Amino acid sequence: MNQISWTDFEKIDIRTGTIIKAELFPEAKKPAYKLTIDFGKELGIKKSSAQITQHYSPQDLEGRQIIAVVNFPTKQIATFISECLVLGVYDESNSVVLLQPQQPLSNGLKIG
């Protein structure tokens, strides 16, 4: 396992957000959704592509709070520009289970 320094960790901007729109992403190579996420006043709305179709439907996702890295460079995925990385854990079948706050929080709060 590679170790990172505390300074390296502090460079990663991880925030709370709420999914306000989730839709199918048929152009993606692997099954995925296009997500529109509200990160609050400071960061605003960002978009992300997420391969989370095994455990979630678009209807399950709308209104759900998530945790995401918001300071990666944008990445083009097929016809879509992803602006953040929604975080999750790979389960035993290699499907992603979202990381979420245990209670409702304001959007845009920093994880540390």
Reported pTM: 0.94
All domains of the chain, ordered by start, with CATH? 6-98 (2.40.50.140)
Percent of the chain whose pLDDT exceeds 90: 97
- Cα-Cα-Cα-Cα torsion 71, 77, 81, 85, nearest 10 degrees, comes to -30
Q: What is the pLDDT of residues 59-112, one digit of tens each?
A: 999 999 999 999 999 999 999 999 999 999 999 999 999 999 999 999 999 998
pLDDT at 1 over 90: no
